Amino acid sequence: MPVLKSWLAIIPISLIYCLSWVPFDILRRIGRFIGPAILKRDKRTVASVNRNIELCLPELSEQQRASLVVDRYRQLCQTIFEMSHVWLKSESTLSDYFIDEFDNASFEALMQGDESVIVLVPHIGNWEMASVYLNKHRRFTAMFQTIKNPRLNSFILKVRQRFGATLVEASSRGVAKLKVALKKPKGLVVILPDQVPGIGAGGVFAPFFHTPALTMTLAHKLALKTGVKVFTCAVFQREQGFAVCARPINESFYSINPEISASALNNDIEELVRMDPVQYQWEYKRFREQPPGVLSPYITGKYAFRSRRDPEG
């Protein structure tokens, strides 16, 4: 069975190579066109997108919410199709996709010096393109979550490191390597901050769009321990290409209080999401973990359950 799974990975890998030959503009149009038709068949995705938008953007009318849901399907499928270029095209080709929209002068000036930096890249737009932008300035270190299929895991690891990035395992050993990277001159560590941390990985509950969300504390701990500066970086998809928004994190993030820090982090991510809501990963169950005794917002009725972190659950 493991051998069979490994060989089955050839199908998506081959498809990625085939799609990489399609002109980028046409590829994006195809993704946007077929997105609603494909994703509407995935009931889990439909339920997650609907529930998250309902929770986070309650000010929208029912018609506005329905429109945003369909637009999200289009954007998500476009992003999936874009990966064939992001993972396989040359660094120079991908760099040509960037357009000037935001003032990133303070970040890019910092990159010219020797000071180490942590960059937090939320799941907005095409976050994989952030690696292309950052590699233009410095080689970075980031964590990598192993995929069960060994052939697919090897492929993704290879394409993500092809421009010089160093990916480390998502474990205590990996965290140690992040600390080492930050202690070196010109150290650059990249972290995706809007995922639910695994049990034992550390985290605190903080509001995200007014709903409690278990929020990672890794970046906060690294920043306090090393004294480095922290930036957020989002890569928005535009008709002409990709627009990078890199800006310093709210000063409250550096508070010694982890709840205050987590609230500042989530607030900054929320501000980025509101700049273009359709580009956020609404399909991800960001609120699946809740404080002890609080019901999951994704399951209703008699099947509602408390957080698995609840010692009484």
pLDDT of residue 310 exceeding 50, the answer is: no
Tokens (6 digits) for 38:
């494909």
**Predicted local confidence at residue 99, as pLDDT:** 97
**Predicted local confidence at residue 233, as pLDDT:** 98
Long-range Cβ contact pairs of 177-186 (< 8 A, separation 24 or more): 177/141, 178/141, 178/143, 178/222, 179/222, 179/225, 179/226, 181/116, 181/141, 182/116, 182/118, 182/222, 182/226, 182/228, 183/116, 183/226, 184/116, 185/114, 185/116, 186/113, 186/114, 186/115, 186/116, 186/138
90-145 residue pLDDT tens: 999 999 999 999 999 999 999 999 999 999 999 999 999 999 999 999 999 999 98
Global pTM value = 0.92
**Predicted local confidence at residue 266, as pLDDT:** 98
Q: How confident is the model at residue 313 (pLDDT cuts 50, 70, 90)?
A: very low
What average pLDDT does this structure show over 293-311? 60
**Predicted local confidence at residue 40, as pLDDT:** 75
Cα–Cα dist 272/245, whole Å: 9
Q: How many domains does the chain have?
A: 1
Lowest mean pLDDT among 41-50, 169-178, 204-213, 283-292: 41-50
Do the domain assignments include residue 301? no
Residues of the chain above pLDDT 70, percent: 92
What average pLDDT does this structure show over 138-160? 91
Phi and psi for 296 in degrees, rounded to 5? Answer: -65, 135
pLDDT of residue 214 exceeding 50, the answer is: yes
194 or 5: whose pLDDT is higher? 194
Do the domain assignments include residue 304? no
Do the domain assignments include residue 311? no
228-272 residue pLDDT tens: 999 999 999 999 999 999 999 999 999 999 999 999 999 999 999
- CA proximity to 83, closest of 250, 270, 235, 264: 235
**Predicted local confidence at residue 85, as pLDDT:** 97
Do the domain assignments include residue 305? no
**Predicted local confidence at residue 41, as pLDDT:** 81
Computed over every residue of the chain, the mean pLDDT equals 90
Expressed as residue numbers, the domain containing 252 is: 2-282
**Predicted local confidence at residue 5, as pLDDT:** 57
Do the domain assignments include residue 309? no
**Predicted local confidence at residue 209, as pLDDT:** 97
- CA proximity to 187, closest of 117, 111, 132: 117
**Predicted local confidence at residue 307, as pLDDT:** 44
Do the domain assignments include residue 159? yes
9-57 residue pLDDT tens: 788 899 999 999 999 999 999 999 998 888 778 888 888 999 999 999 9
pLDDT of residue 3 exceeding 80, the answer is: no
7 or 78: whose pLDDT is higher? 78
**Predicted local confidence at residue 6, as pLDDT:** 60
CATH code where residue 151 lies = 3.40.1130
Do the domain assignments include residue 313? no
Do the domain assignments include residue 117? yes
